Amino acid sequence: MTSVSTATEVDWSQPVAALLRIGTAQAHEKAEHSEGAAWLTRGELDREEYVRFLMMLYHVYETFERALDRHATHPVLAPTYNPTLFSRTPSLSADIAYLLETPESSWQSHPIHETLVSSPPEPFADYTARLQELADDESQVPRLLAHAYVRYLGDLSGGQFIKRRLVKAYGLEDGAGVSFYEFKQLGGSGSSTMGDMKKIKEWYRAGMNAGVGDDVALKVAILDEANVAFELNSGLFTTLKPPSEPPMPSSPMPDIMLGEPLTPTTDSPTPKELTPEPAVTKVVYEAPSQEGTFPVASVIAFILALCLSHFVLVLGGFTGDKGYGKLEAVIHWFTDLFSPSA
């Protein structure tokens, strides 16, 4: 397992939330461009393969959420410990059962799950083993915060874009089968909007900063572990089987559901509720100022009227006072016709 921290290049005076976002940017980009991540985030996995992925996530979350429960009073973990808000294990179980069309009490005896646990892919086994290792070593417990950050803030960020793809890809309705991606409101019981989720992330970052404080050794350890968490999650993507149907080559890829991207991705679809109204250029007619100037359109209209009127009058044989009277009338008519205030 590779450690990725770069102590000589990091400004450790920054709060840990900022360090994590900056210090995992490279790992985030690497995971984002893996083939398995592309299949998942574009909703291209076969339904059963997506279920198998959820089963792996179920065991990952079960392992580290059990560890968070066990160490709930640890000073580093306590400020962000909120199982009512964050616990994903129950929703994963519900989604798996729904997608398999089987009772929640019996999905673990499904052949897909029995094969997974009897012959676990190495990256999957490594992930759960690492989490258990941290939970069992008191000196390593603070590193669990890194895993919670990578998973929870990823679910609140890129996970919300992926949810929209999955609903369309698997024909899901009314939140059934995607409850894993849904969160309650902070301090409430209703479903979170995108605005609510932003508040949750802000609350979580503040909690991380409070728990870690100015302890540089803790910051180094947690940033290091966050990069390990990205590597472990990337390992899960390598276990995914290719879609049975060739993916659409032009399908844009949304952000992966891990941690927080350093900058918003340009190819991520924007949720409807976040889509800004298209910019509208307003053409406003400004009345002539009181300083004797005239709008350009009026000047052009006058010149056009003058030239055309002169041509008509000469052609029609109008001369003298009679001609000038006609000229004046035509000029007024054309000016009114082409004036912007008409």
Question: Distance between CA atoms of 6 and 28, rounded to whole angstroms?
Answer: 16
Count of residues making up the chain? 342
Residue type at 326 in one-letter notation: K
Question: Distance between CA atoms of 52 and 32, rounded to whole angstroms?
Answer: 20
> Where do we find the tokens 């309650």?
184
| Burial class of residue 70, CB neighbours in 10 A (0-12, 13-18, 19+) | middle
Residue 327 has pLDDT above 80, yes or no: no
Residue 258 has pLDDT above 90, yes or no: no
- Structural contact between residues 161 and 269, judged by C-beta atoms closer than 8 angstroms: yes
Most confident segment among 9-23, 122-136, 175-189: 122-136
Q: What is the pLDDT of residue 9?
A: 76
| 250 compared with 46, residue with greater pLDDT | 46
Q: What is the pLDDT of residues 185-236, one digit of tens each?
A: 998 888 899 999 999 999 999 999 999 999 999 999 999 999 999 999 999 9
Question: Distance between CA atoms of 85 and 182, rounded to whole angstroms?
Answer: 10
Residue 256 has pLDDT above 70, yes or no: no
pLDDT band at 267 (very low <50, low <70, confident <90, very high): very low
Question: Distance between CA atoms of 196 and 200, rounded to whole angstroms?
Answer: 6
| 302 compared with 196, residue with greater pLDDT | 196
Residue 167 has pLDDT above 60, yes or no: yes
| pTM confidence score | 0.73
Other Cβ atoms within 10 Å of 187 Cβ, number: 12
User: What domains lie within the chain, and their CATH numbers?
Assistant: 16-239 (1.20.910.10), 307-341 (no CATH)
End-to-end CA distance of the chain: 76
